[in-house]
Amino acid sequence: MDIGNIHWDVVSLEISDAVRACDEELLEPIDIDALPPGPDGTPAAEDFVPEARTACGAGFLYASTVYAFNEDYIPAETPATMADFFDLERFPGRRGMRRVPQGNLEFALMADGVPRDQVYPALSTPEGLERAFRKLDTIKDEVIWWEAGAQPQQMLADGEVVMSTAYNGRVFNARVLEDQPFVIVWDGQLLAVGQLGILRGTPRLEEALSYLGFATSAESLARIARRISYSPTRRSGMPLVTTHIPSGVEIGPHMPATPANAARALLYDWSFWVDHQDELNERFSTWLAR
C-alpha cells in the first residue's frame, strides 16, 4: 500500500485487527448509516448489533471459537464445561489448541473458575496473566498446536487429539456434511464478530462500498448462515435463517449467537487485544519455547 499497489478492495478481518488497521489509517471510514436498512426499513445503525459497528468496519457474522470432541474416543462420561477441557485425569488424551494467545488465555481463566464477566479484568493484571499461564501449564505437554482452521477437524477425525478448540462453523459442517462424530461444547465459547473493511486508497471505492452494502444486508448474511453456522450480526437477519441448505438440518440450535448458546459465551473483547496483542504474542511465544 505504501507504493500504491492495492490488490484487494474489501477484506475480511478479525475485529481487533480491523480496529488496529483503522487506527493506522489502513482502512476507509465506514458510515453505518449509509448501509442499506433492514427488510422492514429499520436503519442499519439500529439493525446491526452494537458490537458489530466500528469506525472502519461493518460486522457481518458472529463466529465462535469453541472446543469439540470426538465421541468415538470419549464414549462414556462426556465433557460439558471449559474446566473439562483442562481435566486430564477425567478425560485423558491430547488436546488441540490454536497457536496464539487470544482464546487460550480466556479459556484457561474460565477453566480455573474465573467468572466470564471477570476474565478480561483479570487478564489486565499481572496476577491474572500469571494465573492463565499456570493453568495452560497443566496441559501444555498434551497440546498439539494448530494454525489453520481445517486442522482441528482433521486431528479429531484421525484420533490425534480427543478434544480441540476449533471454529464452530467448521465443526458443524464436518458433522452434518461428512458425518463426523464431533460434538461442540458451548460452555465458555469465545464469541467474536468478523468485520468487513475497505482498504484505504482503493481506486474502486464506490464499487467497494456498493459491495459492502450487499454483503452486509440481512438477506446476504442469512444466505451465508444457511450454509455454515455463523450467526448474522443484523437483528433482521436471524429470522431469515431456517435450515442448513446442503443438509436440511434445522440450524438454529447450532448457531453461536442463539440465546441458549450465547448464554454460556464470553464476548471477545477486541479493545483488550488491540492494546495488548504485541506484548502477549511475545509472552506466549516465550512460554511455548520453554
Residue with the three cell numbers 465462535: 64
Residues of the chain where predicted confidence (pLDDT) is lower than 70: 1-6
CA distances for 46 relative to 36, 53, 59, 236, 240, angstroms: 11, 10, 13, 10, 18
Nearest 10 degrees: Cα torsion 77, 80, 83, 86: 60
CATH 3.30.70.980 fits 10-62+193-262, yes or no: no
Residues 6+ apart with CB under 8 A from 9: 198, 199, 202, 204, 207, 208, 211
Tell me how crowded residue 30 is: count the other CB atoms within 10 A of its CB: 23
Q: Do domains 10-62+193-262 and 67-186 have the same CATH topology?
A: yes
Other CB atoms within 10 Å distance of the CB of residue 142: 16
**DSSP class of 141:** G
Percent of the chain topping pLDDT 90: 90
| DSSP SS3 for 131 | helix
Topology of the domain covering 67-186: D-Maltodextrin-Binding Protein; domain 2 (3.40.190)
Q: Can you tell me the distance from the alpha carbon of 266 to that of 288, in angstroms, rounded to the nearest whole number?
A: 25
Q: How far does CA 174 lie from the centroid of its chain?
A: 17
Q: Report pLDDT for 3.
A: 54
**pTM value?**
0.91
Q: Where are the beta strands (DSSP E) in the chain?
A: 10-14, 53-54, 57-70, 95-98, 143-146, 163-167, 182-198, 231-232, 266-267
Contact 196, 12 (CB under 8 A): yes
The domain locations on the chain are: 10-62+193-262, 67-186
Q: How far is CA 288 from CA 38, 100, 133, 208, in A?
A: 46, 10, 10, 40
pLDDT at 76: 83
Q: How many CB atoms lie within 10 A of CB 87?
A: 15
- Quickly list DSSP for 17-35: HHHHHHHTT-B----GGGS
Which pLDDT does position 4 carry in this prediction? 59
Reported as a single tens digit per residue, the pLDDT across 186-229 is 999 999 999 999 999 999 999 999 999 999 999 999 999 999 99
Cell of 216: 452486509
- pLDDT of amino acid 1: 47
